[in-house]
């Protein structure tokens, strides 16, 4: 295992796939000359040239449309958005075209395209730059949505996403690009899309968290262990398709569940997972599912308010104490 920063794991995945398939190309704002806004694409222009690593204008709708058209004609684009907050301008191409082309052509045209970039909040960037969009895109049939938490998952799942013949939204956290972690050195390392992972074994409560919230939940689990509560921590990794089998198996063991989500409470990831748990494993629950989410208010700019706005380890601990009747 090699220790890599999150950004380097993503870079490695793109590099390996581009070296194997000349139909893969990368496009987006500052991905070429500047090596990417967060240096994720460092060195790729020098290696593959300007025909395969392409700087675009600040026109998300335009270059997303180019990517969709290229995909329909046999190429395999990787489209980088500087943030998924900006990708709202490209939602017509993502939701109306990329998501629906295979269905509307009766399977005659596939759509092998990856839309990737930072998702959710990124520090003091205020309300219009601090939204998690994974659940919104997951609502649309035809789209696969991945939101990874650690470098190893990022590499293995991005390689799988690039090879997939359907559109995949691959989401990252701006605040995790410098996160270091062990990454498999296995040749041609991939992780199947749609498989959750139990990243901490426990017997008292199942906690489900992804993206930055995985690390919040992990911190809470360490503190709870000091108090004698053993958390089983599940990282879904893929929002859609969601691995309910792994989640259900864990809840049948622990009989309690908390879902931690960096989205607003109404119609978010935690809401859907909570419903699916009650639908599939209600008889095994000893307490209602509790969710930890953002409040129903846009992101503040103030650092103190932002710290209160984001889900915290203390909130996760409080939720676990609720479902285990320790509160």
The pLDDT score that the predictor gives to residue 223 is 98
Tens of pLDDT, residues 183-223: 999 999 999 999 999 999 999 999 999 999 999 999 999 99
Alpha helices in the chain (DSSP H): 6-20, 44-48, 60-72, 91, 101-104, 134-138, 151-163, 212-226, 244-254, 269-281, 303-309, 313-323
pLDDT at 151 over 90: yes
The pLDDT score that the predictor gives to residue 100 is 98
User: Which CATH fold topology does 2-183 show?
Assistant: Rossmann fold (3.40.50)
The pLDDT score that the predictor gives to residue 325 is 95
Once rounded to an integer, what is the mean pLDDT over residues 235-241? 98
Q: For 197-323, which CATH class?
A: alpha beta
Give the pLDDT band (50/70/90) at residue 255: very high
Asked if domains 2-183 and 197-323 share a fold, the reply is: yes
Q: Where are the domains of the chain?
A: 2-183, 197-323
The pLDDT score that the predictor gives to residue 244 is 98
**CA proximity to 132, closest of 280, 1, 261, 36:** 261
Active site residue ranges: 60, 129
The SS3 assignment for 20 reads helix
- How many whole angstroms separate alpha carbon 156 and alpha carbon 148? 10
106 CB-contact burial (10 Å; exposed 0-12 / middle 13-18 / buried 19+): exposed
- How many whole angstroms separate alpha carbon 84 and alpha carbon 86? 5
DSSP per-residue string spanning 128-172: GG----HHHHHTSTT-EEEE--SHHHHHHHHHHHHH-SS-EEEEE
The pLDDT score that the predictor gives to residue 148 is 94
Rg (CA), the chain: 20
Both structure tokens of 272: 């859907």
DSSP tag of 197? E
Tens of pLDDT, residues 106-144: 999 999 999 999 999 988 888 999 999 999 999 999 999
Tens of pLDDT, residues 50-88: 999 999 999 999 999 999 999 999 999 999 999 999 999
Once rounded to an integer, what is the mean pLDDT over residues 319-325? 97
The pLDDT score that the predictor gives to residue 123 is 86
pLDDT at 270 over 90: yes
Q: What pTM did the predictor assign?
A: 0.96
The pLDDT score that the predictor gives to residue 38 is 94
Give the pLDDT band (50/70/90) at residue 327: confident
Once rounded to an integer, what is the mean pLDDT over residues 295-315? 95
The pLDDT score that the predictor gives to residue 125 is 87
């Amino acid at each position: 295992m090699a220790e890599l920063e999150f950004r380097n794991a993503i870079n490695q995945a793109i590099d390996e796939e581009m070296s194997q398939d000349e139909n893969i190309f990368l496009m987006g704002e500052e991905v070429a000359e500047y090596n990417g806004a967060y240096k994720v694409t460092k060195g790729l222009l020098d290696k593959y040239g300007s025909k395969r690593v392409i700087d675009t204008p600040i026109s998300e709708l335009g270059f997303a449309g180019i990517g969709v058209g290229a995909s329909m004609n046999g190429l395999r684009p990787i489209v980088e958005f500087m943030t998924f907050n900006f990708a709202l301008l490209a939602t017509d191409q993502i939701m109306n075209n990329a998501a629906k082309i295979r269905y509307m052509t009766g399977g005659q045209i596939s759509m092998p395209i990856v839309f990737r970039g930072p998702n959710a909040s990124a520090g003091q960037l205020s309300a219009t730059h601090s939204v998690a969009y994974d659940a919104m895109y997951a609502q649309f049939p035809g789209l696969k949505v991945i939101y990874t938490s650690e470098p190893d998952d990022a590499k293995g799942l991005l390689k799988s996403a690039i090879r997939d013949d359907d559109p995949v939204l691959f989401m990252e956290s701006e605040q995790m690009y410098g996160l270091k972690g062990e990454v498999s050195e296995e040749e041609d390392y991939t992780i199947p899309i749609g498989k959750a992972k139990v990243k901490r074994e426990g017997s008292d409560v199942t906690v489900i968290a992804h993206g930055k919230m995985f690390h919040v939940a992990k911190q809470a689990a360490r503190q709870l262990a000091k108090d004698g509560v053993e958390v089983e921590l599940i990282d879904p990794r893929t929002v859609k398709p969601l691995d309910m089998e792994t989640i259900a198996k864990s809840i049948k063991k622990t009989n309690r569940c908390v879902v931690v989500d960096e989205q607003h409470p109404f119609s978010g990831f935690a809401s859907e997972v909570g419903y699916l748990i009650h639908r599939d494993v209600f008889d095994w629950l000893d307490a209602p599912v509790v969710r930890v989410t953002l409040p129903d208010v846009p992101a503040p700019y103030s650092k103190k308010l932002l710290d209160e706005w984001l889900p915290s380890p203390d909130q996760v601990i409080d939720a676990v104490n609720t479902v285990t009747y320790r509160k």
